[in-house]
A and B are shown apart, each in its own frame.
Chain A
């Protein structure tokens, strides 16, 4: 085990970014990924351990003009209960309802789920279909700089993102849904609670006259990162959701994903699930 040389618990963002800027820092939020991973030896602590849990500014859900802004430290339990999330991003709360157990939900944060960058991270797929952006802050030359990036572009591989070492993820921004917006999430686990997604599916769009536009489809646990599914989206975009369109989209989905075999499922079965459940979800969207 690597020795932690310094423990920091900054009270505000400025202080935290200053510590990050010095380099060699491990960020600790809820610790529900970090602790098991370091214990199992899969990742090593950097010399400085920075607990961001006391930074009040990273907490809470607010409306910010045309966006819903969710602070990085918002826990999964808070997302489940939050009225603004329920109103503007219900599909995110739905995903949280399939997430881990109460104990983990109380500790685990949205920022942690995103930065852990697991292809099976359960908030990622719904956030992607909601066109979420991440907000990254740093303090490169004495003053705070912020940049934004679509979440769909943030991930580069399992456990890897485009976040620079001196950056902190401060919030997620979701555009407020337009009229007719529908969104669905499905997680396949073999049990109702405490399961890692074998696959997950997010579908969103504007439903008008039985057709979807601005279609977003994303899949979890079928690639090294959560992915958008452009060919499935194209198969759906603007088409009436009849049986033929749904079947075509489900076929496109199956062909588009390229999962692996592991202890949880074979690649073949994951593709079958993607097909069957995309079809089932679209059926529900069509009949809603």
Chain B
């Protein structure tokens, strides 16, 4: 166990306060300059021609008329960039498609012109001849024997597969089946655990497409200087990984790539991979020898930015009569779409939930990720955990009902405690799971309402009330996926005791600038206004792996604290020397060096800084720190303590179901989160509220409708984000488990709040109506059909794979 003592909080401490986000005034005033607002002298505007077919061979592309249009500078097709390299996790994706298109979003040509309008007009002049190929619209079809291949191997002149060197990327070598990836994990003896079970349930769950809907759509500006160095203004969440990868695609030294991030209008995981548009924009800039800007339209954002991973999931769960869980067996089919991005790797997170949310002696997890002609999924806040939790938390209720146990008691009985090591090797240091469950249940009067609703199910009137609970486990101390999961900080104080905090951690709206400033100020005894954060330029900031895995507060926070403590040590040493005392007798508070015991101010910090600077020794206070969390990489069997801390939550959802229409109204969400420690209460509440609404959208309204590979609703009219009047009442509370490794005891929480909502909503609808729905989303028509018994249960023969 590694749990810290919760210190007595000094009255002037910033920890736990409600601190306004540093960038809030600019954003509220409309003054923030996003990439959309940026103008680089001499820049051209770019547009991409996308496929008008879902799956086809490209017979010819004629760009002559587009090239002839006045104002057009460059038109590129695959033929113009013979050096292009495949992108993506599986290296199966060429940015410009020359021979074959595999999905509606596929890029065929790109234009850079004097204006967006001219570029748009030029696209209309490009003629493409296609020869349609059979469309694979479902993952089930993709794995049928004899299914057409999405990435067939190229043939030589005699029609034989070309001989290619080993390790040739899939984009060139093809793939002999439609299976993009597999994941297999096991602990314990499933057969024995099943034999010991009194009750076993098996169901198939179906999770749909949703997408991030960032207010700031994708965009990039690329330019080369006279020496061939690449500068990109980019919305990426992972600037340092991109720097390296772009260099690889361009075959240049990574030091020659510089990425500057203008303020980012939301990420949620969507800006975690490299996409064709970015590479294409670089190609255009290279060819035009001018800066080139490319910003998506909203429709394009719907069509060509990634989705959340859709999943077909069969789950078997067992328990004993006394309420002990015995085993879980999971098989999922992931629709990979035509190319592989991070969505394919969501099993990393999904299996954690199955193996480790509750104590389960045996767990068997399998995922098959298959190519289809659908859109491809990327990473999205929660990273597979919404999908896994949807299944597992419904089964918890179903098992409890079968053995006649209260669903809350059943959860408490199997919930993890601090000190536990799971079958997957996760070690729970701080763990407030049970307290989350009991707190959320008590505050929402879960037990009473659950019983009352059951009793009222058959009362007259079309509207039924329901309450449901779900819980979650997610990484809260980074995730060691890359060789390093660290973050660097450079910190300097000026002559007036103002701090510049140079951090590798990107701000994507989550509030990292504010919380990092707060942590630094807490060490140095300064007001939050004394800190300027520099965090958006790879030429300046030290390395960070990127914004993902709910890691920034934890990792970058520890890094910032490390740098601040070094600065503090320097300052106190200098003050001690000057005032002839021991540095342990001193502290920093309220902009002064003070005596630690009496609080008596000794010298103003700004004055001390000037004394240091303009003395004979002429010193400035500048420090650096690199924090690497004490987590480990998983082994090949997916075992290992991958995060330095784990976050927990329980959420209770209350609904009203109108049985005449199927409308589910979410009336209240009671959520309790183990956040380790509350740092910025305002920022934390904002994260939770936003996450709850995102979870609500996933559960009830959002649905990217993809039919035969075609996205039917690429607009906000028919893709329904939750609007303000639909947002439920929220009661959010925090459990402070004081993580021993966390910054001031805190753990990551960015992804957590979205995870439970759909699962809890499913349980609430069941509580209200007695109807269990296994497929998302719970749109009115879907719910109405289920209530009328007119919705077929999702089905998949997962247990008898060929």
Closest to B721 in A: A191
Beyond A190-B780, A273-B661, A276-B661, is A264–B723 a contact (Cβ under 8 Å)?
no
Query: Is B779 a contact partner of A190 (Cβ separation < 8 A)?
Result: yes
Beyond A193-B725, A196-B717, A280-B660, is A272–B784 a contact (Cβ under 8 Å)?
yes
> Complex formed: what's the CA distance from A263 to B720 in Å?
12
> Complex formed: what's the CA distance from A265 to B785 in Å?
12
A210 sits at the interface (CB 8 A): no
Beyond A191-B720, A192-B723, A192-B726, is A266–B705 a contact (Cβ under 8 Å)?
no
What residues of chain B lie closer than 8 Å to A192, measured between beta carbons? 723, 725-726
Contact mask for chain B residues 723-746; partner A; CB cutoff 8 A; 1 contact, 0 none: 111100000000000000000000
Query: Is A269 a contact partner of B785 (Cβ separation < 8 A)?
Result: yes
What residues of chain B lie closer than 8 Å to A193, measured between beta carbons? 723-725
Contact mask for chain A residues 153-188; partner B; CB cutoff 8 A; 1 contact, 0 none: 000000000000000000000000000000000001
Taking the nearest CB of chain B, how far is it from the CB of A222, in angstroms? Answer: 15
A35 sits at the interface (CB 8 A): no
> Complex formed: what's the CA distance from A133 to B563 in Å?
76
What residues of chain A lie closer than 8 Å to B726, measured between beta carbons? 191-192
Query: Is A280 a contact partner of B462 (Cβ separation < 8 A)?
Result: yes
Beyond A190-B780, A196-B717, A264-B718, is A276–B660 a contact (Cβ under 8 Å)?
yes
> Complex formed: what's the CA distance from A210 to B701 in Å?
40
A56 sits at the interface (CB 8 A): no
Beyond A277-B660, A280-B462, is A269–B725 a contact (Cβ under 8 Å)?
no
What residues of chain A lie closer than 8 Å to B784, measured between beta carbons? 269, 272
Contact mask for chain A residues 245-288; partner B; CB cutoff 8 A; 1 contact, 0 none: 00000000000000000011110010011001101100000000
Query: Is B701 a contact partner of A190 (Cβ separation < 8 A)?
Result: yes
Residues of A in contact, count (CB < 8 Å)? 19
Q: Which of B688-733 contact A (CB under 8 A)?
A: 701, 705, 712-713, 717-718, 720, 722-726
What residues of chain A lie closer than 8 Å to B663, measured between beta carbons? 190
Query: Is A277 a contact partner of B661 (Cβ separation < 8 A)?
Result: yes
A194 sits at the interface (CB 8 A): yes
Contact mask for chain B residues 782-796; partner A; CB cutoff 8 A; 1 contact, 0 none: 001100100000000
Query: Is A194 a contact partner of B723 (Cβ separation < 8 A)?
Result: yes
What residues of chain B lie closer than 8 Å to A264, measured between beta carbons? 718
Q: Give the interface centre of B462, B712, B781 by most chain A CB atoms within 10 Å.
A: B781
Q: Give the interface centre of A192, A263, A279 by most chain B CB atoms within 10 Å.
A: A263
Taking the nearest CB of chain A, how far is it from the CB of B346, in angstroms? Answer: 27
Taking the nearest CB of chain B, how far is it from the CB of A58, in angstroms? Answer: 28
> Complex formed: what's the CA distance from A273 to B663 in Å?
11
Q: Which of A180-217 contact B (CB under 8 A)?
A: 188, 190-196
What residues of chain A lie closer than 8 Å to B712, measured between beta carbons? 263
Residues of B in contact, count (CB < 8 Å)? 22
What residues of chain B lie closer than 8 Å to A277, measured between beta carbons? 660-661
What residues of chain B lie closer than 8 Å to A191, measured between beta carbons? 701, 720, 722-723, 725-726
Query: Is A265 a contact partner of B725 (Cβ separation < 8 A)?
Result: no
Q: Give the interface centre of A191, A196, A280 by most chain B CB atoms within 10 Å.
A: A191
Taking the nearest CB of chain B, how far is it from the CB of A187, in angstroms? Answer: 12
Query: Is A188 a contact partner of B725 (Cβ separation < 8 A)?
Result: no
Q: Give the interface centre of A193, A196, A265, A276 by most chain B CB atoms within 10 Å.
A: A276
Contact mask for chain B residues 129-151; partner A; CB cutoff 8 A; 1 contact, 0 none: 00000000000000000000000
> Complex formed: what's the CA distance from A272 to B712 in Å?
24
Closest to B713 in A: A263
What residues of chain A lie closer than 8 Å to B781, measured between beta carbons? 265-266, 269
Taking the nearest CB of chain A, how far is it from the CB of B657, in angstroms? Answer: 14
Closest to B780 in A: A190
> Complex formed: what's the CA distance from A272 to B660 in Å?
8
> Complex formed: what's the CA distance from A194 to B705 in Å?
19
What residues of chain B lie closer than 8 Å to A269, measured between beta carbons? 781, 784-785
> Complex formed: what's the CA distance from A56 to B785 in Å?
50
> Complex formed: what's the CA distance from A259 to B663 in Å?
20
> Complex formed: what's the CA distance from A6 to B785 in Å?
53
> Complex formed: what's the CA distance from A193 to B723 in Å?
8
Query: Is A188 a contact partner of B661 (Cβ separation < 8 A)?
Result: yes
> Complex formed: what's the CA distance from A195 to B701 in Å?
12
Taking the nearest CB of chain B, how far is it from the CB of A98, in angstroms? Answer: 12
> Complex formed: what's the CA distance from A195 to B720 in Å?
9
List 6 A-B residue pairs with CB atoms under 8 Å apart, sorted by A's residue number.
A190-B663, A191-B701, A191-B722, A193-B725, A265-B781, A277-B660
| A residues at B contact (CB < 8 Å) | 188, 190-196, 263-266, 269, 272-273, 276-277, 279-280
Q: Which are the 5 A-B pairs with shortest beta-carbon distances?
A: A276-B660, A192-B725, A269-B781, A263-B712, A263-B718
Extra contacts besides A191-B720, A277-B660, A280-B660 (11): CB < 8 Å: A191-B701, A191-B722, A191-B726, A193-B725, A194-B723, A263-B713, A265-B781, A266-B781, A269-B785, A272-B788, A276-B661
